[in-house]
């Protein structure tokens, strides 16, 4: 086997196309009923890419990845009340020099609300959202790296305080163990679905109540959400 062929196989290249591109093409063609944009915001090294990969692929990158340059995205379809909801999740670079690029994605082409999941410097990012995004967007605060106390950017106490102050849901997650990662995106998907397709007879969806009920269910069953 030639060195070039070996390298291509190692990097997951098939017929000149990388594995990531093939996976994206497959996810784009996956059936869905409704789609929403979700943006991961936060400083560098807070775990945005790791959270995304954990949710999309069920894997942990650890230190085996290159920091996001500019902006990247992945799709995942989840089921909410028998409806297929596609989340187009945008992974943004945290460095200041890429902010102007990121701002262009705060609204999508159809003018729908983008959803923002924040992993650091909550107040600073809120200022950017209020300046560049539409009003009444869905915002969630994540305290990632719950398994590594020394590396956490948002402590439990800080997260609870900020969430109460701004009226947004707060969750502690771990991209390494998977704790609460799936639940965070499921909660976002349900909130967006109910905001856009609310049936007259349906009770108003409350994201805080949903998160707490799912946490209690997980604790009773001993599972990882």
pLDDT, tens digit (0-9, with 9 covering 90-100), for 106-116? 766 454 556 88
Measured CA to CA, the distance from residue 42 to residue 13 in angstroms comes to 31
pLDDT band at 8 (very low <50, low <70, confident <90, very high): very low
52 pLDDT more than 80: yes
* Residues 10 and 39 both lie in one domain: no
Residue 26 shares a structural domain with residue 37: no
The CATH number assigned to the domain holding 115 equals 3.40.50.300
pLDDT averaged over every residue in the chain: 78
Structural domain harbouring 6:
1-30
pLDDT at residue 43 greater than cutoff 60: yes
Mean pLDDT of 154-160: 85
Give pLDDT, residue 18. 42
Q: Same domain, yes or no, for 123 and 206?
A: yes
Distance from chain centroid for Cα 223: 21
Tell me, what's the pLDDT at 11?
41
Highest mean pLDDT among 2-6, 119-123, 137-141, 179-183: 179-183
pLDDT class of 100 with cuts at 50, 70, 90? low
* pLDDT at residue 19, rounded to an integer: 47
Query: Are 171 and 115 part of one and the same domain?
Result: yes
Q: Mark whether 67 and 143 lie in a shared domain.
A: yes
202 and 122 within one domain = yes
- The reply to whether 23 and 51 lie within a common domain is no
Same domain, 138 and 173: yes
Q: Which of 20-24, 61-65, 130-134, 204-208 is predicted most confidently? A: 204-208
Higher pLDDT, 37 or 154: 37
> Is the same domain home to 10 and 63?
no
Residue 207's pLDDT is what? 93
Q: Are residues 123 and 150 in the same domain?
A: yes
Rounded Cα–Cα distance for residues 185 and 171 (Å): 11
pTM over 0.85: no
Same domain as 123, residue 25:
no
Pair (91, 123) in one structural domain: yes
Which pLDDT band, with edges at 50, 70 and 90, does 187 fall under?
very high
Give the residue-averaged pLDDT of 212-219: 85
Q: Please count the structural domains in the chain.
A: 2
């Amino acid at each position: 086997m030639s060195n070039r062929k070996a390298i291509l196989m190692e990097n997951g290249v098939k017929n000149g196309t990388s594995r990531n591109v093939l996976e994206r093409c497959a996810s784009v063609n996956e059936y869905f009923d409704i789609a929403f944009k979700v943006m991961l915001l936060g400083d560098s090294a807070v775990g945005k890419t790791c959270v995304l990969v954990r949710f999309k692929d069920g894997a942990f990158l650890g230190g085996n990845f290159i920091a996001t340059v500019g902006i990247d995205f992945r799709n995942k379809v989840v089921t909410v009340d028998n409806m297929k909801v596609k989340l187009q999740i945008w992974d943004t670079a945290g460095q200041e020099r890429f902010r102007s690029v990121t701002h262009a994605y705060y609204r999508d082409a159809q003018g729908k609300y983008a959803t923002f999941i924040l992993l650091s410097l909550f107040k600073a990012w809120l200022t950017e959202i209020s300046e560049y995004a539409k009003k009444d967007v869905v915002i969630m605060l994540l305290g990632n790296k719950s398994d590594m106390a020394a590396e956490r950017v948002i402590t439990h106490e800080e997260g609870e305080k900020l969430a109460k102050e701004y009226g947004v849901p707060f969750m502690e997650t771990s991209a390494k163990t998977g704790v609460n990662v799936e639940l965070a995106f499921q909660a976002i998907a349900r909130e967006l679905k109910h905001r856009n397709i609310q049936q007259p007879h349906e009770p108003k969806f409350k994201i805080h109540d949903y998160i707490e009920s799912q946490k209690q269910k997980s604790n009773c069953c001993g599972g990882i959400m």
